[in-house]
Amino acid sequence: MTSVTNAPVPARVVLSQADIDRALTRIAHEILEANKGSRDLVLLGIPRRGYPLAVRLAEKIAAADTTVDAAAIVGQLDVTMFRDDLSHQGTRPPYPTRLPRTGIDNKVVVLIDDVLYSGRTIRAALDALVDLGRPRIVRLAVLIDRGHRELPIRADHVGKNLPTSSAEKVRVRLAETDTSDAGAPVNEVVIEGGA
Amino acid sequence: MKHLLSTGDLSLSNAIRILDTAEEMSAVGEREVKKLPALRGRTVVNLFFEDSTRTRISFEAAAKRLSADVINFAAKGSSVSKGESLKDTAQTLSAMGADAVVIRHWASGAPHRLAATDWIDAAIINAGDGTHEHPTQALLDAFTMRRHWARLAGTDSQGTDLKGMRVAIAGDVLHSRVARSNVWLLRTLGAEVTLVAPPTLLPVGVDKWPCSVSYDLDQTLANGVDSVMMLRVQGERMNASFFPSTREYSRRWGFDNNRLRALDDLGMTDTIIMHPGPMNRGLEISAAAADSPRSTVLAQVRNGVSVRMAALYLLLSGDTREPAATRAPANAAAPSTKESN
């Protein structure tokens, strides 16, 4: 690891609200294109910030394809209990898992997360999916791919590829889950720390 | 949290965390695959020095749903009947690598003893010790009440407490660890608890508990109540006559058909009837009350598995290598002062 400077490195905004919105619009169309339409589509967001992204994507898909009911295709998939680092990290309480009423059997499930890093969250998500049903296809969409994979996992749809050092922290802040220091809603992706 | 020994030292935030986690666990019971891999490779020992069906089976089901290995130990038929001490039994289990010990013991304080000594380095869960505490029962009762309370309020039960709920706990308070655990926990969660019992079945010093005491069940019902918890008359612990006859007990302190009708007459349509089981039908609760739509007896059993899954998960999933010094910031919300309401 490289030496860390003593002076705090200011957080650098890499994606603004408009950038996030454009990236999500593109991903929404990519999902429709890869699926050749909206048939059997289910979007599952991984808590915490994957879920609001999934809701936004579902709305964009519904805007592009009027036959789609955004609320009916989106769900939340908690992977806490399936993580491989449960016995090494502090205890984390699980989030709810909510599936669309149609279930996931024989569906095209798109997993959605904010940042793809080691790939271990996605491995846990794949395990969690097996216990819930048998999708026909599982795809992965992420807002940020920052590299440093530890498992043979890749994303099908990426908002932005972001080369990072592992000393840096990538933070996604969304209006649904975060507020700025002043308490105002924020929508941005920032890089903190590192050299 | 390292151990779950008592509800008295459970803070409000920890109590709500357990109940919220239990809420997620209950969703697992409705799935096709009723299993989570969270505690794979962990060993849970059910150490039961006293008879039990639902608590032991409930803990076993909870541990198995979390993929833990379960070893059942009943004092009957073990070396305990040859005179082995609690210490030797604990050290044997420790040598076998138990990660959690669920202990029920006839002696009050036995779980605390295991937790306080270095006999065994495992998470200790109190599953009932003598006439002292039974924290997971209180948690599952609170979980059942919280769902009911949230449904009445029309909200999601996640993160809520029991503020303003009026709970009557009636029956054999003297011998009841369920009552003790419930009084502390319900108080922490903001409910108003009234104990109803014949004076002979109230423990010495009950006036210092954070609850009010009544000798008259009808009066308590008439004052308005949102949940009535009937306690079992513990014949096996009674070595003296605490009441003249079972008929008199049943007429004055049992939840009989007349009192069931009285709830309707008083217009309390949303009052639930709880019982920790096993029930003495016809003594502290009539069959009609136990089987009425108000009764939550079976819901309590069902919720017991979820709550115990939550307790096992929160105690066992954390960092196994952390030093034992990190005890939960308890005692903060522990009710120690007397409050008369």
Residue with tokens 């989030």: A95
Find how far residue A176's CA is from the centre of its chain: 14
Q: Is A93 on the interface with B (CB under 8 A)?
A: yes
Report cis status (omega within 30 of 0) of the bond before B323: no
Contact B27 A97 (CB under 8 A): yes
Instruction: Enumerate the residues of chain B whose CB falls inside 8 A of the CB of residue A132.
Output: 31-33
Cβ–Cβ gap B32/A133 under 8 Å: yes
pTM above 0.80?
Answer: yes
C-beta separation of B129 from B177 below 8 A = yes
Q: How many other C-beta atoms are found inside a 10 Å radius of the C-beta of residue A176? A: 13
Q: What is the pLDDT of residues A91-112, one digit of tens each?
A: 778 899 999 999 999 999 999 9
DSSP-assigned letter for residue A84: T
Distance from CA of A97 to the nearest CA of B (A): 8
CA distances (Å), origin B133, targets B46, B61, B85, B138, B184 = 17, 22, 22, 9, 10
pLDDT digits (tens, 9 = 90+) for A32-64: 999 999 999 999 999 999 999 999 999 999 999
Q: Measured between CA atoms, how close is A107 to chain B, in angstroms?
A: 17
User: From the list A93, A127, A130, which residue is nearest B21 (CB)?
Assistant: A93
Q: For residue A174, what pLDDT is reported?
A: 95
Q: What is the mean pLDDT of each run of 10 residues along chain B (341 residues)?
A: 91 94 90 88 93 92 95 81 86 91 94 94 94 96 96 92 96 94 96 95 93 95 95 83 88 93 93 94 94 95 96 82 40 36 35
In DSSP terms, B107 is beta-bridged to none
Residue B244: exposure state from Cβ atoms within 10 A (0-12, 13-18, ≥19):
exposed
Nearest chain A residue to B42 by CA: give it. Answer: A87
- CB contact at 8 A, A32 and A159: no
Average pLDDT of chain A is: 91
What are the Cα distances from residue B242, in Å, to B179, B188, B199, B248, B250? 18, 31, 9, 11, 13
Q: What is the pLDDT of residue A6?
A: 56
Instruction: Give the pLDDT of residue B319.
Output: 56
Report chain B residues touching chain A, CB-CB < 8 A. 17, 20-21, 23-25, 27, 31-33, 35-38, 66, 158, 313-314, 317-321
> Does any CB of chain B come closer than 8 Å to the CB of residue A133?
yes
- The nearest CA of chain B is from the CA of A63 a distance in Å of 30
ipTM over 0.90: no
CA-closest candidate to residue B144, choices B40, B34, B57, B23: B23
Mutate to test the interface with A, among B313, B316, B321, B322 (most CBs of A within 10 A): B313
Look at strands A188-192 and A169-173 and give their pairing.
antiparallel
Q: Nearest-CA residue of chain B relative to A78?
A: B24
